[in-house]
Structure 1
């Protein structure tokens, strides 16, 4: 999705916008649409066809409430707009599609396996993977930054899940197809739905093969955690449920980790912002938080009202879907002054890039460590970056991402001071 700044233009006609259309997010101006909604209709109804429609929540407070209040807004009827009007096959089987208390029971062992203390043991390995990727960046020559960092999440999560390294490139491509099946670069001749289904089949098959090779308790990686965990009724997860949650974990990692640095570097490469950040190592953590706010890689999550509820003065009826637009919430000027400025001094710790409430991203610690190691190594190895062309954005209403970001890097000739 394009990370635009709303420009002076003709007023947006909210009756004609179509935020379901992936092309609007890849080639259009979704931030202009969200800005208009926040100003005029913060809770807006879009009729998709004769049968289907949904509400858009666009302000920070409304988005946070929809994501947080599982007693009023359920995740079990579909969490993405591509499931609008369909039964979610992952309902009550996959972490994102399950409400508390069942969700809490499922989440606990995964959260323990992904807590920051446990992951610190893997930091040296993550650092080595980051360094290996960046060591191949040419000095003074054009390269595709998005292609380089696109390999990072699989290197991290593939290791944590115990997936075969030889499979990482194909799994990376398949997850890209799954999050952007309508993108011209990934869509098959049979269309977006066929692309999504094929990506799902091949990803699920890869997880099934990984499970079939395991014996006993295994080595304690994430797939073994899922194999041995117990549900609230005392039973263990079925193979199909394990596969579904493997898919969710891998998708979450491949969604967040590459698109945050892509979006940030698109801004840092302009107007000496990169040099400013490099010269102020005390702003390192605030810069990463700003990168998360700025990128908001997961554009939306869908919820359904469990009862009649009022949101910003609008009554949402029981059973109606609500899209919580995270990318819009993180540009709400009532919470983030001058929201269309990328400012490393902002330190927006209250951003919603990882969500909020019970479904706060279970892999947030993994993502933070990977981002920390990546940005630290970038600042250590390179004195500057310059854009050499226009970035290409994913056609996806779910992921705000860049698939190509052409840059020229200049390597440092001497070290950089750290805090």
Structure 2
């Protein structure tokens, strides 16, 4: 989605608005619509293409409550709009689509393998891998940036997950298809449902093959932790381990590459911000933090009401589907001053770019570390960025990203 900066008084008509339609997010910026909804109809009832009704919430406080209050709003039925009326096939088997306490039993052993200590231990390898991805762009003075960033999740997670090197490229490709099955440049132009099913099958086959290798050669990694995990006295099946690895890779691919790309776009006409970062490397984490708020890489997150309740003064019935528009919440002027300005001084920032509550992104620390490496490398070498063509936006109501972005780097001569 191209990110625009509407004035605070901008409003758009709400007649016949279809927030589900994936093409909306390729063809235009949704911030004017979200701003209108925050002011005029912050809890809106619409219908998915299969006829199932769902509520959209657009204010920060409502979105935060939706994501935090797992007793009222369950994650078990799915976390993206594609699940409305259908449910997620992995319900009850992965961290993403389980609620506490079972959620924590799955999450905690994996979280220990993605801790700050592990990130520090893997830091040199991560920096080497990411540096190798960026070096051709630096040598050529730029190029197509998004394709390079699609390799980022594997570069940052492979050492921690225990993924065999020979499977990395295939897993990276099918992860991208899984995240954006509506996008024709990734799915080969086939039907989105067919593409999603194909990606699901391929990913499970790849991970199940990797799991068999890891069982024979255990290590200090996520995959080994899952194969050794016992819940109620029983180990997870290979399919359950594969589903959780699949979920982790999807989460990584849904955030990190798109934050990096959209932040570069923001910096093309904010030279003063980039100059500040280049002059003071301690500002890199602030750039990553604001870049995540600014991008809001996942437009929405879904929950389902577990009990009768209310939201924003509107009655919500048990079983109702609830969609929290994270991209809208991260521009709520009641939370941030100048929400449409890209600022490095928003510390602390309570943005929802990585979610919040029990389902706060399990790989958030890894993502932040990887993005910090990207922008630290670029800050040492690149004076400025310029787009050489209009970026191509993804067809997706879930992911805010691009399929292609040609960018020129003003690279300093090597020392």
Give the distance between the partners of 1:112 and 1:141, measured in 2 at CA: 39
Query: Given the superposition, is the C-alpha separation of residues 188 and 403 from structure 1 closer, same or farther in structure 2, using an over 3 Å criterion?
Result: closer
Distance in 2 (CA, whole Å) between partners of 1:49 and 1:211 is 37
Matches within 5 A, 1:153-164: 153-164=153-164
Distance in 2, Cα, partners of 1:215 & 1:282: 41
Change (3 A) 1:148 1:189: closer
Alpha-carbon distance in 2 for matches of 1:357, 1:9 = 32
**Using the alignment, how far apart are the partners of 1:349 and 1:26 within structure 2?**
28
Cα separation, 2, equivalents of 1:291 and 1:177: 24
Matched with 1:114 is 114
Q: Distance in 2 between matches of 1:29 and 1:118?
A: 38
Q: 1:8 to 1:108 in 2, by over 3 A?
A: closer
The SS at the match of 1:212 is: helix
Task: Decide which moves more: 317-326 or 404-413.
Answer: 404-413
Counterpart for residue 259 of structure 1: 258
Shift of 1:29: 2.4
Counterpart Cα distance in 2 of 1:125 and 1:187:
31
Moved more, 102-111 or 21-30: 21-30
Alignment map for 1:18-417 (pairs within 5 Å) = 18-48=18-48, 51-138=51-138, 141-216=141-216, 218-231=218-231, 233-272=232-271, 273-413=273-413
CA distance in 2, matches of 1:239, 1:140: 44
Superposed CA offset, 1:317-366 (max 9, x none): 11100001111111111111111111123335211111111101111111
Per the TM alignment, residue 109 of structure 1 is displaced from its structure 2 partner at its CA by: 0.3
CA distance in 1, matches of 2:44, 2:226: 39
* Cα offset, 1:203, TM superposition: 0.9
The answer as to whether partners of 1:391 and 1:405 remain within 8 angstroms in 2 is yes
1:358-409 Cα offsets, whole Å, 9 max, x none, are 1011111111111111111110121221121111111111111122221111
- SS of aligned partner of 1:213: helix
TM-score (norm 1): 0.94
- Cα distance change, pair 303–165 in 1 and its aligned pair in 2 (3 A): same
User: Unpaired segments of 5 or more residues in structure 1?
Assistant: none
Secondary structure, counterpart of 1:137 in structure 2: helix
- Greater shift, 65-74 or 149-158, is seen at 149-158
- How many residues align structurally? 414
Secondary structure (helix, strand or coil) at the match of 1:395 reads coil
On the 8 A contact 2:214/2:223 being kept in 1, the answer is no
User: Structure 1 residues 208-217 or 261-270, which shifts more?
Assistant: 208-217
Query: Do the aligned partners of residues 124 and 189 (structure 1) sit closer, same or farther apart at CA in structure 2, a change above 3 Å counting?
Result: closer
RMSD, aligned CA: 2.0
Secondary structure, aligned partner of 1:403 = strand
